[in-house]
Structure formats: C-alpha cells, structure tokens
C-alpha cells in the first residue's frame, strides 16, 4: 500500500494546564487494485507546557523586588522604615507570600533588615554614582558620609608592555604602581589598581587620603581632561575578595579606564573593582542616530 500526504490543517486549543497542538492531516492511500482512498488522519504533536506555578510566583517575587529596591535606592523612604506588608501588597498588587519573599531577597542582599514586631528597615543605602562625567565617589553622596582611601601599594615597577605603550614610556622604563581601597563609613566599596608615570610615587608618599582620587591628582599638578572607560562584571579573585570583604568568586563591577590629560597624553591606566552591593551607576543617555540606529 502506498500513502501520500496531500494536505494539512493545524489546530491548537488550550487544555487544563497545557496547550495541545495537533495536525489534522489528510492521507491518500493507493491500493493494489489501482483504487485511491482518502482518509482523515490526526497526528498528535508536542505539548507546550506553561511555567509551573512555583516558577511563575518566583517571577512575581523578582519583579516586585526590582521595583521595591529601585524605590529604596531613589530615597522614597527617608525615615529608613518601609511600609507594612499590607501596605506593600496594595502598592505593588501582590499577595502576602510574594511580598514576604521579595523582602527576604532584599534582606539576603543586605539592603534591609527585618525585625519581628517592628518592621523592615533600610540598612544599606548604596552609593549613587553619576556615570556621565569624570568624578570620584566622594561627590556622589546625597547625604554626608565618611569616605576614605587606604593605600595598599605605592611602589615602582617595571612597566608592563601595554602600560608603557599607553603612557608613552620607552621600553624598559619604570612606572608607579598604586593600589588602594576606598571605604564608605568604614565599609569597603572599591579597590583600585593604577599605573602612572614613574615620578608620581615619590610625590604621593603613602599617606591615606579623603577618597577623592581626582583631587589627589590635581594636588600633584595632574589635570584630567577626560576618561575612557568600559564596565563589565567579573568574579572576584582572592586578593580583591580579601580587600573588599567578599567571597572569592563573588561578582564585582570592573572599570577598565584610561585617564587623559589636557595635553592629550594618557596619565593613568587603571582597573577599579566595585562591590556591586555598594554602588549603583546612574546616567542619562540621549538616543541619537548612528551605530546601527535608524
């Protein structure tokens, strides 16, 4: 017996808990006595399963967490006390379990602390850093906070090839290597590795400073005209994990930067690692044509 597909019609309908998709198919059969018989035939196709209820609720939790943490970072509750669970349920149109799980995520992040009988308190407001100009974390604080920097390394080293090339140094030259940790209210926020020209080390000494790196450079007569930076998430290795007081492998924001002086020369090649739970980057970007935008 010979068979041939001669047409299909697709249909789909919603079942309880799943979507069933079927093909309604007409088959044409050829028998041995030269007669042809057409018969309808149905082929069951794959099921398309929706997200399980638990995963759907997890999505609701994450979305509420994102909205709530945004309002916390925007300073919507200056007293430091969040509204009650019932008020948050009304505000975000969520159920009690979703609300509690969202608050628990913020607690794990270290942004809030929950005290039974008292409420939920904001305990770790992040530093808000404008990312549309060259400046330090020092002038990003909306409220007075103690910023300090502690030098780990101030030394002279053989300039690595990429550093020598960018700083315009001859092969075999020395350069200054600076490493320091910036703290806010005594808690580590960032660790900086900085390569600069060889005479900078003797100018700086090893004293701690206020945390404003650009003011430090200006005090040495080094003027920064602009910076070239790229930002990516990387895993903390043992050294930065130690100084930032985080676990090895924890995600950090890595700023790769070049500081350029008024004369167009590169004055610093730097790498800054920020704890992601201690800083947020704020920027207002225009939409312009170019780079594939039409």
Task: List the chain pLDDT tens, one digit each, 294 residues.
Answer: 444 443 433 333 333 334 333 444 444 444 555 555 555 544 444 554 555 666 677 889 999 999 998 888 878 887 889 999 999 999 999 999 999 999 999 998 888 899 888 899 988 666 676 667 776 666 655 556 677 888 999 999 999 999 999 999 998 899 999 999 988 888 898 999 999 999 888 788 656 677 688 888 888 888 999 999 999 999 999 999 999 999 999 999 999 999 999 999 999 999 999 988 877 777 777 877 766 655
Alpha helices in the chain (DSSP H): 53-73, 85-92, 96-109, 161-167, 200-204, 213-219, 238-244
Give the pLDDT confidence score for residue 39 in this predicted structure: 53
Give the pLDDT confidence score for residue 80 in this predicted structure: 85
- Distance between CA atoms of residues 17 and 14, nearest Å: 8
Fold for 53-122, please state it.
Answer: Arc Repressor Mutant, subunit A (1.10.10)
- Distance between CA atoms of residues 115 and 222, nearest Å: 49
**Residues in Cβ contact with 48 at an 8 Å cutoff, skipping those fewer than 6 apart:** 18, 19, 21
Give the pLDDT confidence score for residue 245 in this predicted structure: 94
Considering the domain delimited by 127-282, tell me its CATH architecture: 3-Layer(aba) Sandwich (3.40)
- Residue of 173, 172, 180, 287 lying closest to 244 (CA atoms): 180
95-98, long-range: CB < 8 A, 24+ apart: 97/57, 98/57, 98/60, 98/61, 98/64
- Distance between CA atoms of residues 97 and 169, nearest Å: 61
CA torsion sign for 140, 142, 144, 145 is negative
> Where do you find CATH 3.40.1410.10 in the chain?
127-282
> Where do you find CATH 1.10.10.10 in the chain?
53-122
Q: Taking the mean position of all CA atoms in its chain, how far away is CA 36?
A: 65
Give the pLDDT confidence score for residue 146 in this predicted structure: 76
CA torsion sign for 71, 283, 221, 162 is positive
- Distance between CA atoms of residues 140 and 281, nearest Å: 10
The whole model's pTM is what? 0.67
What b/e string do you get for 28-51 counting C-beta neighbours within 10 Å, with b at 16 or more?
A: eeeeeeeeeeeeeeeeeeeeeeee
- Phi-psi map region of 168: left, alpha, beta (phi>0 left; psi -120 to 50 alpha): left
Segment (H or E) for 228 = strand 224-235
Secondary structure class of 117 (helix, strand, coil): coil
Give the pLDDT confidence score for residue 139 in this predicted structure: 63
Q: What is the chain's Cα-based Rg? A: 30
């Amino acid at each position: 017996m010979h068979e041939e597909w001669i047409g299909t019609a697709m249909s789909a309908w919603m079942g309880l808990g799943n979507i069933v998709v079927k093909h309604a198919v007409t088959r044409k059969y050829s028998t041995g006595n030269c007669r042809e018989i057409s018969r309808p035939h149905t082929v069951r196709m794959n099921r398309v399963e929706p997200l399980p209820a638990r995963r759907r609720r997890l999505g609701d939790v994450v979305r509420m967490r994102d909205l709530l943490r945004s309002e916390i970072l925007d300073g919507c509750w200056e007293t430091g006390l969040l509204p009650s669970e019932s008020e948050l349920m009304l505000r975000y149109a969520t159920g009690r379990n979703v609300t509690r799980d969202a608050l628990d995520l913020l607690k794990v992040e270290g942004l809030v602390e929950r005290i039974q009988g008292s409420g939920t308190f904001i305990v770790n407001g992040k530093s808000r850093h404008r990312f549309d100009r060259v400046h330090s974390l020092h002038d990003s604080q909306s409220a007075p906070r103690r910023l300090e920097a502690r030098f780990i390394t101030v030394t002279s080293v053989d300039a690595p090839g990429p550093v020598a090339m960018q700083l315009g140094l001859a092969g075999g030259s020395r350069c200054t290597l600076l490493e320091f940790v910036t703290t806010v209210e005594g808690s580590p926020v960032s660790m900086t590795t900085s390569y600069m020209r060889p005479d900078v080390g003797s100018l700086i000494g090893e004293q701690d400073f206020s945390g404003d790196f650009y003011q430090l450079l200006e005090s040495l007569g080094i003027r920064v005209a602009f910076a070239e930076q790229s930002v990516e998430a990387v895993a903390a290795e043992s050294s930065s994990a130690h100084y930032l007081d985080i676990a090895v492998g924890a995600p950090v924001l890595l700023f790769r930067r070049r500081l350029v002086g008024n004369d167009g020369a590169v004055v610093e090649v730097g790498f800054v690692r920020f704890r992601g739970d201690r800083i947020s980057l704020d920027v207002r970007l225009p939409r312009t044509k170019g780079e594939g935008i039409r």
